[in-house]
Amino acid sequence: MSLDELNMQIYGCKRCRLWQGAKHGVPGEGPLNAKVMLVGQNPGADEDETGRPFVGRAGKFLTKTLAEYGIKREDVFITNIVKHVSPENRKPFADEVAACLPYLRAQISIIKPKIIVLLGASAKDTPRMEGIEYFEVIHPSAAMRFTNMREKFRQQIAQLAKQLQQN
């Protein structure tokens, strides 16, 4: 299956209840040959509005921090565990995660990234696949708000940039 076909499935998906309150499905975006995939938990209000991942304040902070360490946003694939916004931005329920994970699994199989960056502990459900390096960082929204976490986040992104140079 192509990424476009997968996106079409996501736009029309009703496998769990989350589509009901959403304006747009947010499959994710990035190049087919991305070496790095970033995975967050779920789209927020800005993402629901635009249909694009990580475009709100936390997304802008993430994009800026990546750029500071030489990683261009347009070179990475960014997505989430679930592809529709949840009511009041609550954490997705386990059955919603289970229903949506086949899409993320398919995205990983199509893109075949070398490194998957888990954005916060909430991305822990990301499928583990052989031959891929997994790299957990602080969620950008927490890094944006708390000074001590921001510093740690920068160190993690610096480490990611170093690993990318070796790949």
CB of 135 to ligand SF4, least distance (A): 24
Sheet holding 133-137, edge to edge: 77-80, 36-40, 115-119, 133-137
CB of 82 to ligand SF4, least distance (A): 4
CB of 43 to ligand SF4, least distance (A): 9
Task: Give the orientation angle of helix 94-111 with respect to helix 3-11, to 10 degrees.
Answer: 160
Q: Which is nearer to ligand SF4, 19 or 135 (CB)?
A: 19
Q: Which is nearer to ligand SF4, 107 or 141 (CB)?
A: 107
153, 158, 162, 163 alpha-carbon torsion, rounded to 10°? 10
For the record, the structure tokens of 70 come out as 């030489």
Q: Which is nearer to ligand SF4, 103 or 153 (CB)?
A: 103
DSSP class of 125:
T
Give the span between the Cα atoms of 29 and 76, in whole angstroms. Answer: 8
Q: Contact at 8 Å (CB) between 42 and 92?
A: yes
> Where do contacts with ligand SF4 occur on this chain (CB under 6 A)?
10, 13-16, 18-19, 25, 82-84, 96, 99-100
Q: Which is nearer to ligand SF4, 82 or 137 (CB)?
A: 82
CB of 57 to ligand SF4, least distance (A): 22
